[in-house]
Amino acid sequence: MTESLKLLFLSTSVGQLGSGLGGGVELTVLNIAQELHRRGHKIAVVAPVGSVLESIRVIEITGDLQVTAQTQDYNASIVMPADAVLANMWEYARKVEEEWDVIVNFAYDWLPFYLTPFFRTPIAHFISMGSLSRSLDRIAGQIAAKFPGTIGVYTVSQAETFAFADECQLLGSGIDLLLYEFCSQPEPKLAWLGRIAAEKGLEDAVAAAKITGIPLKIMGKMQDEDYWQKICADYPDAPVEYLGFMTTIQMQKQVRECRALLMTPRWVEAFGNVAIEALACGVPVISYERGGPAEIVRDGLTGFLVEPDSVNGLVSAIAQIDKIDRRACRSQAEVEYSLGALGDRFEHWFKSILNLS
């Protein structure tokens, strides 16, 4: 048993943990907090008021949520609301920093990076998306140079969107496999999971459902209502159903019965937690060969990688989906994406920052 570390996590700033507004990083924060807590480390998570994180201690902070980075222009100025919850979260961290061994930032925002040199306690930054803004690229590059080894990312393709790719610790992701039940006999339906927003390319999955006539079950946070309404107007008779934002248990009950998960990222998806959630249920993943999913899916073995933005590519992959052995999907999740493997990578990262490993 290694000595236990005291780790203060500062959450994403765009929504309460549990709301789905924080997308995949919400699951990442929960899984890492739970796994490191299980190993005996002391964990607390600072997050916007209203956040819930199962059995993990949450310190709730009031204030205005941050504007989401992916809706801003690359050259946009840094936006800070008047009573920014992000600033209030870091004001709290400044007050208590002496009580912690490492402060871990999960917000994709300029401020935590800017504040880093003013703190005595080491700060680890987990960057949860690819390059989206000049201001973040610049400040994160400065921190990567000044504090080597303190920047963590999910995947190689995500790191490569930044000039400081070589300085990034590759941490991947992982899930609690006990929550996902293998299904060997799927029903004739497909799944699409994720925030309903333009960067996720949902319209292509809807188009593929229309062409194949196979019902598509859509689950995830309704982030951009206008975007969804436009899809419904463009594809009025596509066999699709929006099931809303669900808990992991509810979501996997639906997904496990599907013949495949469709992933249609328009952007460089940093990881794609939904891909490993599907694999854990034995569900093959059909994804554009772009970003994180391209590093997860074993083409022809646990799903298919398709030419990016090609609806016809999705359609021909769907036609071959029975070639995939669903047990191979589950075993890939077990071998590569367990909580234990994830916990090892993060524990090693924190200890290397403290020069303990």
Name the one range near ligand HBI by CB under 6 A: 41-49, 102-110, 323-331, 345-353.
102-110
For position 277 contacting ligand HBI by CB under 6 A, the verdict is no
Query: 29, 85, 129, 333: which one contacts ligand HBI (CB under 6 A)?
Result: 129
For position 108 contacting ligand HBI by CB under 6 A, the verdict is yes
For position 22 contacting ligand HBI by CB under 6 A, the verdict is yes
Name the one range near ligand HBI by CB under 6 A: 7-15, 113-121, 248-256, 314-322.
7-15
At residue 119, what is the residue type? F
**Cβ pair 335, 302 in contact under 8 A:** no
For position 12 contacting ligand HBI by CB under 6 A, the verdict is yes
Task: Compute φ and ψ for 314, nearest 5 degrees.
Answer: -60, -45
For position 107 contacting ligand HBI by CB under 6 A, the verdict is yes
**Residues 60 to 79 in contact with ligand HBI, rule: CB under 6 A:** 66, 68-70
Name the one range near ligand HBI by CB under 6 A: 21-29, 52-60, 111-119, 295-303.
21-29
Strand order in the sheet with 151-153: 58-61, 42-48, 6-10, 102-105, 123-126, 151-153, 169-170
In the complex with ligand HBI, the residue whose CB is nearer, 173 or 338, is 173
CA distance 103 to 5: 11
For position 9 contacting ligand HBI by CB under 6 A, the verdict is no
For position 88 contacting ligand HBI by CB under 6 A, the verdict is no
With CB atoms as reference, the residue minimizing the distance to ligand HBI is: 23
**Cβ pair 228, 220 in contact under 8 A:** no
For position 151 contacting ligand HBI by CB under 6 A, the verdict is no
For position 282 contacting ligand HBI by CB under 6 A, the verdict is no
How many of the other CB atoms lie within 10 Å of CB of 185?
7
In the complex with ligand HBI, the residue whose CB is nearer, 25 or 294, is 25
Q: Which residues bind ligand HBI (CB under 6 A)?
A: 12-14, 22-25, 66, 68-70, 107-109, 128-129
